[in-house]
Amino acid sequence: DTCRNFHCKRGKVCHTDKQGKPHCVCQDPAACPPTKDYEHVCGTDNKTYDGTCQLFGTKCQLEGTKMGRQLHLDYMGSCKYIPPCTDYEVDQFPLRMRDWLKNILIQYYERDLNTSGILTEKQRNKVKKIYQNDKRLVAGDHPVELLLHDFEKNYHMYVYPVHWQFHQLDQHPVDRLLTHSELAPLRASLVPMEHCITRFFQECDGDQDKLIALKEWCHCFGIKE
């Protein structure tokens, strides 16, 4: 089977021509495998798709059109009303996000104490310093004032988590720039809970080139140069 090791990008599938040569064609959305309700996704066209296969197959069929360029995965789950993000809320967003990233790394570290695998040794050594710091703010739903105070007092604890998340997303390719597709795994899972994330990332892109550079990312999270 010439298609076995032939890679096609999302939204495309491999087919062999009459000569037996493999090539990529658009996935027929109607031919996507059935999905459960919890696998539904919402596109940026505010339409619910049965899954990512259907969404990216549709995007592929619209290739070269304005609709195709604008269609992306917005968030996981069926489309629903997402309230607009106020100026006050978008200002508070980095406080919660920094705290969340720090606590995710600590969770990974605690899990790795028993079975290694999630973090590399170098990453574990970095997180260990945060984990062992007795001044660390423990996970919880903290008021904005406390998050702000903790960031100012224990700034050094938040630098690595912000850098770590950027490099986790910067994969295709690794170029110190985040595209819409690279941001999608983080955005898509958080939009239903954090309705400000879309506006936050739009405003992070200071030069409006549709890419978020490491410098722009750090600036958005209040990390000094």
Give the 3-state secondary structure of the chain.
CCCCCCCCCCCEEEEECCCCCEEEEECCHHHCCCCCHHHCEEECCCCEECCHHHHHHHHHHCCCCHHHHHCCEEEECCCCCCCCCCHHHHHHHHHHHHHHHHHHHHHHHHHHHHCCCCCCHHHHHHHHHHHCCCCCCCCCCCCHHHHHHHHHHCCHHHHHHHHHHHHHHCCCCCCCEECHHHHHHHHHHHCCCCCCHHHHHHHHCCCCCCCEEHHHHHHHCCCCC
Right CATH for 87-221 from 3.80.10.10, 3.40.50.970, 1.10.238.10, 1.10.10.10: 1.10.238.10
Cα–Cα dist 185/165, whole Å = 11
- Residue 55 CB-half CA count within 13 A: 26
- Residue 116: what pLDDT? 67
Q: Nearest-5° angle of CA 46, CA 49, CA 55? A: 95
Would you say the CATH fold of 87-221 matches that of 12-76? Answer: no
| Token pair belonging to 217 | 């990312």
- Residue 225: what pLDDT? 75
Q: What is the pLDDT of residues 90-135, one digit of tens each?
A: 999 999 999 999 999 999 999 888 776 789 989 999 999 999 998 8
- Average pLDDT of the segment spanning 140-147: 92
Q: What is the pLDDT of residues 164-186, one digit of tens each?
A: 999 999 998 899 999 988 998 89
Asked whether the whole model's pTM tops 0.85, one would answer: no
Instruction: Return the domain boundaries, the chain.
Output: 12-76, 87-221
Residue 200 clears pLDDT 90, i.e. is over it: yes
CA dihedral 116, 118, 122, 123 (to 10 degrees): -130
- Residue 185: what pLDDT? 86
- Residue 17: what pLDDT? 87
- Residue 166: what pLDDT? 97
- Residue 90: what pLDDT? 93
CATH number of 12-76: 3.30.60.30
